[in-house]
Structure 1
């Protein structure tokens, strides 16, 4: 099972990816998490990514594709993966398709989370407060100003991915503002329909 979870920041992709991991034994490939791990480890890629991420910008395609390509070769990704937060641009989608083809792999489905962007800002502010209350560090991109910038970037770049994947017959949509369990059920129905499970 090889999936892409598509939608703006805060749409619930990470939550649903975790449920897919538990239910199907696949791995969640969050480029944000992979990049944060590289930053924490102080790798060369991590150092390059840190400055870019701290500014609320996107890291280069080459860095991200390299991280994804290495990650899907690891043993725990053999059963499949759910890409969360990648690709973000048509260029990345093309590079991902090429890289998967070279590995003899293909995507099973792209699940797009449709959301009300005005309500997303409230969701992010709440997430930051809950993280802080739990005594955990708040992500720099959970700041309302940085988040608003990320939403603008999403609208400018990532929205073009919907037609890209629709043309390939891979695009399916779910209501990202629905209760979490309903979104999980909608994704399960899509996976059954596409025979990804």
Structure 2
């Protein structure tokens, strides 16, 4: 691409490809790992990193006081995400590791396992194939700020930390009802999770350390350590109230774990606003363009501008505009493509409205290389759309627009000279609504990642919701649940 040639054309496929395949994030992760591990052969290391293709696997820590449900949440998460469930006890289950033997020797002497040894055990376990390929959900570690800092220094850091929280009185009640199956290690509760199998019921025993006094000591130790742990991971944790039904807690946990941190990658907004006539697309596009300094691309306006400028394509579309007929798709795409390929759209981003209206037009737009990364459908009832449009009028002297209900003319003489646009007649508005509904479902199916917005409210409230969806990364799609046999 020659930067001296004018006009400068940046192929739209470049930005689409880079964003779709997360090129910037891949390079960022690779360089971060390279600087942490400092291999002797950096090129081979990077090749190996790319072949592993595990930047997107879950790396989650679940923390919480005794009886907060962290074991249950970790199990549910690992099953839902197809990740490896890890506990401090599982790190000591290997019988072939020298590190495990060293750790067990401390336990045999009733001594605390050193933090540095815990971290080496975790590194060893996380380097195994299942954790590398599928990711991991680690329960109950780190237990102190020192352990958290050692984890970071070793190059091991989670992407999300779930912190379950509940009142102490609730936790004490929960913990005293806990029962364990010594054969399987499964945990049950006398009130909330009692097994139906009588044989399992007979096998259950009361685990050690669940008395009120012992539970109180563990709660005190947890409350003493958790502020320091969270200071070690200030931007990746979320506290979730565990004093509610289990599946409600899990729903919030899963939503948080599937959220993505804001990427440092250069982000160029490519926004599509679609909605029925009267839904406020033009106003929302103007608000977004003004706030974020992106290009407001109104399909209807650029067609009129092309016709007024008497360009070659403008002369071809002029008969369509004069007869109020729909301009053919290939002519619209020619003018629209010329606008979207300009330097300001390629570098600043754009908000498009008025095109496409159906799946066929969307396919043409995609084939030309213009793919929006945020698609909003502005939804309003038909009767509201008719009310908004059929009751609006224009003052031919001042050009001001008024509405019989929401913004009546200030004076009688202004009211008497108001005129209604022919296209705002109720019959024509209804015909435009019918055309919109005919293509809306297929267009939504084409784009799939459509965000619906209730446009029947204050315009600034609508704009705030659109903004929140534009600036936040799109959440990851949860993996498909395995089909039941």
Give the C-alpha shift of residue 193 in structure 1: 2.6
**1:54-93 pair list within 5 angstroms:** 54-77=322-345, 78-93=347-362
Match of 1:22 among 290, 297, 310: 290
- Whole-Å separation in 1 of the counterparts to 2:424 and 2:333: 24
Residues 11 and 115 in structure 1, CA contact (< 8 A), matched pair in contact too = yes
- Is 2:279 the counterpart of 1:11? yes
Work out which of the two has the higher radius of gyration on C-alpha atoms and give 1 or 2.
Answer: 2
CA deviations 1:128-176 (Å, max 9, x no partner) are: x14547436975533433322222211122442112212xxx2101111
**1:100-179 pair list within 5 angstroms:** 100=369, 106-127=371-392, 129-130=393-394, 132=396, 134-135=398-399, 140-166=422-448, 170-179=449-458
- Whole-Å separation in 1 of the counterparts to 2:311 and 2:422: 20
Higher relative contact order (CA 8 A, sep 6+): 1
Residues 307 and 317 in structure 2, CA contact (< 8 A), matched pair in contact too = yes
Secondary structure, aligned partner of 1:10: coil
Secondary structure, aligned partner of 1:187: helix
Residues 2 and 109 in structure 1, CA contact (< 8 A), matched pair in contact too = yes
Secondary structure, aligned partner of 1:38: helix
Q: Provide TM-score, normalisation by structure 2.
A: 0.36
How many residue pairs were aligned?
187
Q: Provide TM-score, normalisation by structure 1.
A: 0.83
Residues 54 and 140 in structure 1, CA contact (< 8 A), matched pair in contact too = no
Residues 390 and 429 in structure 2, CA contact (< 8 A), matched pair in contact too = no
- Whole-Å separation in 2 of the counterparts to 1:53 and 1:141: 13
Give the C-alpha shift of residue 178 in structure 1: 1.1
Q: Structure 1 pair 161/52, CA: closer, same or farther in 2 (3 Å)?
A: same
Q: Structure 1 pair 64/144, CA: closer, same or farther in 2 (3 Å)?
A: same
Q: Structure 1 pair 143/161, CA: closer, same or farther in 2 (3 Å)?
A: same
Residues 56 and 141 in structure 1, CA contact (< 8 A), matched pair in contact too = no
- Whole-Å separation in 2 of the counterparts to 1:165 and 1:123: 28
Give the C-alpha shift of residue 106 in structure 1: 3.7
Answer with 80-89 or 149-158: which moved more: 149-158
Give the C-alpha shift of residue 49 in structure 1: 3.0
Q: Tell me, which stretches of 5 or more residues in structure 1 are unaligned?
A: none
- Whole-Å separation in 2 of the counterparts to 1:157 and 1:132: 34
Answer with 42-51 or 25-34: which moved more: 42-51
